[in-house]
Structure 1
Amino acid sequence: MTTNTTPGKAAHGLEYAASPGHLLTTTAARALAVLRIATGFVFLWAFLDKLFGLGYATPAARAWINGGSPTKGFLSHVAVGPFQSMAHGIAGAWWADLLFMAGLAGVGVALILGIGLRVAAGSGALMMVLMWLAEFPLARFTEAGEPSGSTNPLVDYHILYAVVLVVLATAYAGQTWGLGRVWARLPFVQKNRWML
C-alpha cells in the first residue's frame, strides 16, 4: 500500500489529503470533517439544552442549572428490558448526571475541535451503547404489554452514532478543518498516543 504524507494529485487527477498511513481523497476528508462537526454539534446541543433548558428537549424549569436532572427523565421512563430496575435506580443520581453531562460536553467539544477523537469515540460509543441497552430495542413490548415503539431490534440511532464515532476516530477526521494535526504534535499526546 502506498502511503501519502503530503497532499497531492494521484493518477486520474484525484486530490488526496495527508493522513498517517492512509489515502483519502480531499473530498472524502472534507465529508468526514462535516460529519465530525455535525455529530459534535448533536452532542454539544444536547449538553446545552439540558444545562440551560433551551426549550427543545428540556424546558427551562427542568434545566440542570435550575436543579433539574439530565438523566431522570430518560432513565425513569425505561419500560423494557433487563436493565429497567437498574435504570430507575440511577435516574437522577448526582454522579449519573455529572458523568452524563461531562460525556456530552467532552464528546461534543472534542468532535467539533477535532482533538482527542480516540477518547471521544470510546466514551461516546460507550454512552450510546448504554442508552441502547436502556431503551432495549430487542423488546417488542413493554412490561405492561404495550408496544415498545422499537422499529429495529438491533440497529437504531444509538448504534449509528457509536459507529460514526469510531469511523471518525479511525479516519483521523480531526485533521481536516480541525485541530487534529496540532493536537497530535503536543508532547503529552506524543507520549500518550491513545489521546489522539
Structure 2
Amino acid sequence: MTAMAERHTGTRTATEQQRAEQVGNVRQQAVRYVWAGVRIALGWTFLWAFLDKTFGLGHETESKAAWINGGSPTEGFLNFGAAGPFKDFYNGIAGSAWADWLFMLGLAGLGVALLLGIGMRVAAVAGGLLFVLMWTVVLPPESNIFMDDHLFNAAVLAGLALTAAGDTLGLGRTWARLAIVQRLPWLR
C-alpha cells in the first residue's frame, strides 16, 4: 500500500506517528512550563503580601502599619472591606492576634511552597480555603454577582496541584522522594 493510500484509509506511517508524538511531547512540555510559571507568579503574590504586611514596604502597607511596628495584617481588610452576610463575624475577628498569626503564616507558607514547588496538594487546599474565605469577606463581589478573582485563584491552585506543577522549575520531584512524603502522600 502506498503512503497516499495509507493516509486515505486513516492509518499513519511510522514517520507520521513519530511527528505526532513529537508534537504531543512539545505541547506537554509547554503546558508544564506554563503551569510552573503560574505557580511561581502566584507564589510570589503570596510571599509579597507577607513581606509587605510584615515590613510595611509601602506598596499596600505603610511602614507605620507594618506588623513589626505593631500593625495588624487583618484589621483593615476585615473591618473596612467586609460586607454582606458575614460582616459581623469578620469585624469581630479583625485584628485579633490568632487571626493575624494564622493569616501571616498562611501567606508565608503558601508563598514558599509555591515558589519552591513543594507540598502542592497542601498548598492547593490551604490556599483554596484562604481564597474562599477572602471571597466570603466581600460578598457579594463588587464586579460580578458571583465570580471574582478569589474563586478563580482557588481553581488555579487546584490546577497547580493536579498537574504536578511543582515538578517543573521546582523541587517537587525531590520533595516527593522524602521519606515522610512517601509515607504521607497527601504532603506531595
Alignment check: 8 A CA contact 1:114 1:179 kept: yes
47, 72, 75: which is aligned to 1:72?
Answer: 75
Alignment correspondent of 2:153: 161
Alignment correspondent of 1:84: 87
Q: TM-score, normalised on structure 1?
A: 0.84
Gaps of 5+ in 2: 1-17
Instruction: Report which of the two structures shows the higher radius of gyration computed on alpha carbons.
Output: 2
Task: Output the CA distance in 2 between the equivalents of 1:179 and 1:14.
Answer: 26
Gaps of 5+ in 1: 1-8, 18-23, 139-149
Q: TM-score, normalised on structure 2?
A: 0.87
Number of aligned residue pairs: 171
Distance change >3 Å, CA 10–CA 171, structure 1 → 2: farther
111, 131, 135: which is aligned to 1:132?
Answer: 135
Superposed CA deviations along residues 107-166 of structure 1, whole A, max 9, x for unmatched, are 11100000001000101110110010010025xxxxxxxxxxx11111111111101111
Task: Output the CA distance in 2 between the equivalents of 1:30 and 1:15.
Answer: 14
Superposed CA deviations along residues 47-95 of structure 1, whole A, max 9, x for unmatched, are 0000000001100000000000000000011352111111110000000
The correspondence of residues 1-196 of structure 1 with structure 2, limited to 5 A, is 11-14=20-23, 16=25, 25-137=28-140, 150-196=142-188
Task: Output the CA distance in 2 between the equivalents of 1:94 and 1:155.
Answer: 30
Q: Find the residue that maps to 1:151 and give its secondary structure.
A: coil
What fraction of aligned residue pairs are identical, expressed as a percent?
Answer: 53
